[in-house]
């Protein structure tokens, strides 16, 4: 009864209709009283049945649920990642200047130096080459660069998500950084605006700048800027500089294999440079060719042809002697136009054909005789009558030594300095027919012996100069005074300091080949001293003239009659004297020179067309083996001048002179400059202002004289000295006259001995 009271029965009015009992009331099965333990068992059975039905029929719905949740969370993460990236971009972008202030920086100016006939001599400046238009350069170059660096260049918007994703996957699989995701636009942005730091900030700025470039410029403009600014190794910026540097040609003429090599350098310009590792450069170029074939830029036939004929590096870029000229021009340029602010073109005075002739002559003689005669260096300078330098070779090989021996090396000229002694004597009243006694003399402790100890007695000045007789040159120096000789040399074009003592007659003061050659030019052009110059004109890339050497006149520095006498005397040097090997079809004149122990050998000669000076020697001042000015220098001069005058109408040397015995001055009539008599000076009509008599010579260091004496092949008797290239102040004998002479033949010896 207790259980029944606990189980309350409620009537149901919604059940299915049943047969009514007599009482009119009914109950369903659920209204029945069931013990509580039986109810729990029934619920467990019901739950178990439902569970088994879920496992069997709902497996598909569970898998899709997992994928759905994965997609959901990826979407959520993408949103948050985008927010984070946007935050980083905003943060680092805020540090950049306003986009309205951005502008493309100017390209480093290029200085293009061309020859007198328009051929390229050299490029100078930071870039090393001029800018070339995209459609001017070889089409292989942009095709090769795009194929290996940025295949989707013309389809992306400055940033390539596909390429970036591919690079990330490749780097993850490889386990190291092997591919970059930067587009050409990004690389240009980095090169133009940013430092090479690998930081997140720089990468963000690179992307922003790339987007700006794509907005402001066309694809072709971006590619052109990139190709004209990117670094190709070996100091070459831009395709023109690289093409000149590696192949000796313009980017306009580059072949397929050469373009592939250039494009391959972009990955690692310094490491892959053909100047450093030709094998690595070639292997990389093969990858570029394969990429071009894969992209359909070249045919299978073109690929095979390029692989069978790989690019070869030109060896001439750094070996050409025209680089000596270019270096000299670059030194002079600031004085003419100031700072270079844009691309300029320099029209030089140099004839490239003559330059090559000069270089070949110097190199051939050193190659043939250098080892046998101990000769390692040479220099040549050729100047026309207007002072324009037509050729200048500063050494055997520019690639091994950029020191310019033509314009920088000061060496003893030896007898090549004697024309200034004879010129001073002629201006003092002597003539080529004046007689001197060629005999041993003593000046202090110095005896200027002739070569081989041979003397000729009474000779004319013309004969003395042709045979390079030292005693006569010393006598003339004492007659007119050393200061008069120094003044004459400086007036003609010598710029170096000269020691005003008797030994100056024998060329003991040092000069450069350029200044010695320039000092002979007035003999060739009739007595005028022009400005020696390498530059004719300087213009901007659009043709604006910044400098022009045209105009102006050269001052007269020698009277016409003196020019005639000097040319008559120096013609004998070539015809019958020490420079017979130099003679050729044109009327020519000049003077040989050899310093002590054959340390320096010279010949400076001229026609009415060109004045050319040649020097041979060694940088360390070591002696050559019996090389004289009449040997290698005269041979080189002959080779060069014959080729330079081919097809040029013959012209006589300026000035005339006829031998007149009545004008001859015999020794007894000669005043001595050492008997307290002022040295003669040229009249004021020769130059703008006549120099003062006995003017003090420019100061120069003087070393103590050494007692050892040597006689060179031109007849020079000089103090022994171990001078080296570009040194100044070799020891010289004293300029005072004294001591007792061994022999008395003429009264001039009394004058010299009685000081």
CATH of the domain at 483: 3.40.710.10
Instruction: Indicate the burial class of 337 (C-beta count within 10 angstroms; 0-12, 13-18, 19 or more).
Output: middle
Q: Nearest Cα to 493, choosing from 415, 423, 593, 588?
A: 423
Average pLDDT per consecutive 10 residues, the chain (755 residues; last block may be shorter)? 50 48 49 52 51 52 77 81 70 66 81 94 86 96 97 92 70 57 89 77 83 94 96 90 92 97 94 89 96 96 94 77 94 92 94 97 97 97 98 94 95 97 98 95 84 89 95 95 97 96 92 98 97 97 92 91 97 94 96 94 98 98 95 98 96 86 42 32 36 35 32 41 33 32 36 34
* Contacting residues for 379 by C-beta, under 8 A, at least 6 apart: 362, 393, 394, 395, 405, 406, 409, 513, 614, 615
Cα–Cα distance measured from residue 626 to residue 375, given in angstroms and rounded to the nearest whole number: 11
The 3-state DSSP composition of the chain as helix, strand, coil percent (nearest 5) reads 45, 10, 45
Residues 88 and 151 in one domain: no
Residues 273 and 171 in one domain: yes
110-114 and 344-348 beta bridge pairing: parallel
pLDDT at residue 181, rounded to an integer: 66
Count of CB atoms within 10 A of residue 365's CB?
A: 21
Residues 545 and 665 in one domain: yes
Which one is catalytic: 149, 258, 282, 510?
A: 149
Cα–Cα distance measured from residue 323 to residue 397, given in angstroms and rounded to the nearest whole number: 10
* Contacting residues for 108 by C-beta, under 8 A, at least 6 apart: 125, 126, 127, 237
Residue 234 CA: distances (Å) to CA of 128, 130, 187, 315, 326: 10, 16, 20, 14, 18
The single-letter DSSP state of residue 746 is S
Residue 690: phi, psi to the nearest 5?
-75, 135
CATH of the domain at 249: 1.10.3810.10
322 with 122: CB under 8 angstroms? yes
* Pure H helices in 150-299: 161-174, 184-193, 200-216, 219-229, 239-247, 256-265, 269-272, 278-294
Cα–Cα distance measured from residue 697 to residue 508, given in angstroms and rounded to the nearest whole number: 15
Residues 614 and 480 in one domain: yes
Query: Does residue 277 lie in a domain region?
Result: yes
Query: Does residue 115 lie in a domain region?
Result: no
Query: Does residue 739 lie in a domain region?
Result: yes
Query: Of 254, 289, 308, which residue sits at a domain end?
Result: 308
Residues 535 and 643 in one domain: yes
The string of DSSP letters for 17-63 reads P----TTS----GGGS---HHHHHHHHHHHHHHHHHHHHHH-HHHHH
Total domains in the fold of the chain: 3
Residues 586 and 712 in one domain: yes
The string of DSSP letters for 403-445 reads --TTTT--B--GGGGHHHHHHHHHHTT--TT-EEEE----BTT
Query: Does residue 572 lie in a domain region?
Result: yes
Residues 92 and 147 in one domain: no
Residues 401 and 448 in one domain: yes
**Which DSSP helix (H) or strand (E) runs through 379?**
strand 377-384
Count of CB atoms within 10 A of residue 508's CB?
A: 26
Q: Across the strands, what pairs with 379?
A: 615
Q: SS3 for 115?
A: coil
The single-letter DSSP state of residue 389 is E
Which one is catalytic: 115, 243, 382, 415?
A: 415
Query: Of 273, 308, 343, which residue sits at a domain end?
Result: 308
pLDDT at residue 316, rounded to an integer: 64
Residue range(s) defining the domain that contains residue 76: 72-101
Residues 455 and 502 in one domain: yes
Query: Does residue 271 lie in a domain region?
Result: yes
286 with 304: CB under 8 angstroms? no
Cα–Cα distance measured from residue 6 to residue 36, given in angstroms and rounded to the nearest whole number: 11
Q: Nearest Cα to 384, choosing from 345, 351, 413, 410?
A: 351
Query: Of 287, 308, 329, which residue sits at a domain end?
Result: 308
158 with 298: CB under 8 angstroms? no
| 401 has catalytic annotation | no
236's tokens? 């070459």
* Contacting residues for 300 by C-beta, under 8 A, at least 6 apart: 293
Query: Does residue 38 lie in a domain region?
Result: no
Query: Does residue 548 lie in a domain region?
Result: yes
482 with 733: CB under 8 angstroms? no
* Contacting residues for 412 by C-beta, under 8 A, at least 6 apart: 507, 508, 509, 510, 595, 596, 599, 600, 718, 723, 730
Residues 138 and 88 in one domain: no
Cα–Cα distance measured from residue 362 to residue 352, given in angstroms and rounded to the nearest whole number: 15
594 with 713: CB under 8 angstroms? yes
Query: Does residue 355 lie in a domain region?
Result: no
- Total residue length of the chain: 755
Instruction: State if pTM tops 0.75.
Output: no
Residues 164 and 275 in one domain: yes
Residues 613 and 573 in one domain: yes
| 149 has catalytic annotation | yes
pLDDT at residue 104, rounded to an integer: 81
Count of CB atoms within 10 A of residue 209's CB?
A: 22
691's tokens? 């120099």
């Amino acid at each position: 009864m207790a259980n029944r009271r606990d189980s309350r029965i409620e009537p149901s009015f919604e059940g299915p209709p049943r047969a009514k009992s007599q009482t009119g009331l009914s109950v369903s099965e659920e209204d029945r009283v069931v013990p509580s333990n039986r109810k729990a068992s029934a619920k467990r059975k019901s739950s178990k049945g439902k569970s088994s039905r879920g496992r069997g029929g709902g497996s598909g719905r569970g898998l899709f649920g997992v994928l759905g949740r994965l997609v959901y969370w990826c979407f959520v993460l993408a949103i948050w990642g985008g927010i984070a990236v946007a935050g980083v971009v905003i943060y680092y972008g805020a540090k950049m200047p306003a986009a309205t202030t951005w502008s493309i920086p100017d390209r480093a100016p290029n200085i293009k130096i061309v020859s007198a006939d328009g051929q390229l001599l050299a490029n100078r400046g930071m870039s090393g080459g001029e800018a070339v238009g995209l459609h001017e350069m070889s089409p292989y170059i942009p095709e090769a660069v795009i194929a290996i660096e940025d295949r989707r260049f013309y389809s992306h918007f400055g940033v390539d998500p596909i390429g970036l994703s591919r690079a990330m996957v490749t780097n993850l699989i490889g386990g190291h950084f092997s591919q970059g995701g930067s587009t050409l636009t990004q690389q240009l942005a980095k090169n133009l605006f940013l430092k090479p730091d690998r930081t997140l900030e720089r990468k963000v700025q690179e992307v922003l700048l790339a987007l700006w470039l794509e907005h402001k410029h066309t694809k072709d403009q971006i590619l052109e800027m990139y190709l004209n600014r990117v670094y190709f190794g070996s100091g070459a910026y831009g395709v023109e500089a690289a093409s000149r540097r590696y192949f000796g040609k313009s980017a306009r003429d580059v072949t397929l294999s050469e373009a592939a090599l250039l494009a391959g350098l972009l990955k690692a310009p310094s490491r892959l440079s053909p100047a450093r590792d030709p094998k690595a450069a070639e292997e990389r170029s093969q990858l570029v060719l394969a990429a071009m074939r894969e992209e359909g830029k070249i045919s299978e036939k073109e690929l095979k042809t390029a692989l069978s004929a790989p690019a070869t590096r030109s060896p001439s870029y750094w070996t050409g002697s025209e680089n000596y000229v270019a270096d000299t021009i670059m030194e002079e340029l600031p004085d003419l136009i100031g700072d270079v602010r844009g691309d300029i073109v320099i029209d030089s005075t140099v004839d490239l054909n003559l330059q090559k002739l000069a270089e070949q002559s110097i190199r051939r003689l050193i190659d043939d005789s250098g080892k046998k005669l101990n000769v390692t260096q040479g220099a040549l300078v050729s100047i026309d009558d207007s002072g324009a330098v037509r050729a200048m070779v500063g050494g055997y090989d520019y690639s091994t030594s950029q020191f310019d021996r033509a314009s920088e090396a000061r060496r003893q000229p030896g007898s090549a300095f004697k024309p200034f002694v004879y010129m001073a004597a002629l201006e003092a009243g002597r003539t080529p027919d004046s007689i001197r006694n060629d005999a041993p003399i003593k000046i202090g402790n110095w005896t200027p012996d002739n070569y081989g100890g041979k003397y000729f007695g009474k000779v004319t000045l013309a004969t003395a100069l042709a045979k390079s007789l030292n005693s006569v040159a010393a006598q003339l120096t004492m007659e007119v005074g050393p200061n008069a000789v120094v003044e004459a040399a400086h007036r003609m074009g010598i710029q170096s300091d000269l020691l005003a003592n008797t030994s100056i007659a024998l060329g003991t003061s040092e000069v450069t080949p350029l200044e010695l050659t320039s000092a002979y030019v007035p003999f060739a052009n009739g007595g005028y001293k022009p400005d020696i110059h390498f530059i004719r004109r300087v213009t901007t890339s659009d043709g604006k003239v910044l400098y022009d050497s045209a105009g102006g006149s050269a001052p007269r520095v020698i009277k016409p009659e003196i020019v005639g006498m000097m040319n008559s005397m120096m013609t004998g040097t070539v015809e019958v004297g020490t420079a017979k090997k130099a003679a050729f079809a044109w009327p020519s004149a000049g003077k040989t020179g050899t310093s002590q122990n054959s340390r320096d050998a010279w010949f400076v000669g001229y026609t009415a067309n060109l004045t050319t000076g040649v020097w041979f020697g060694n940088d360390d001042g070591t002696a050559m083996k019996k090389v004289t000015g009449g040997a290698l220098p005269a041979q080189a001069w002959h080779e060069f001048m014959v080729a330079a005058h081919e097809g040029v109408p013959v012209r006589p040397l300026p000035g005339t002179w006829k031998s007149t015995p009545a004008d001859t001055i015999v020794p007894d009539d000669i005043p001595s400059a050492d008997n307290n008599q002022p040295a003669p000076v040229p009249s004021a009509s020769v130059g703008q202002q006549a120099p003062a008599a006995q003017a003090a010579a420019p100061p120069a260091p003087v070393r103590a004289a050494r007692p050892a004496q040597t006689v060179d092949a031109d007849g020079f008797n000089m103090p022994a000295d171990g001078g080296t290239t570009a040194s100044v102040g070799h020891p010289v004998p004293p300029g005072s006259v004294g001591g007792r002479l061994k022999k008395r033949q003429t009264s001039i010896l009394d004058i010299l001995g009685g000081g």
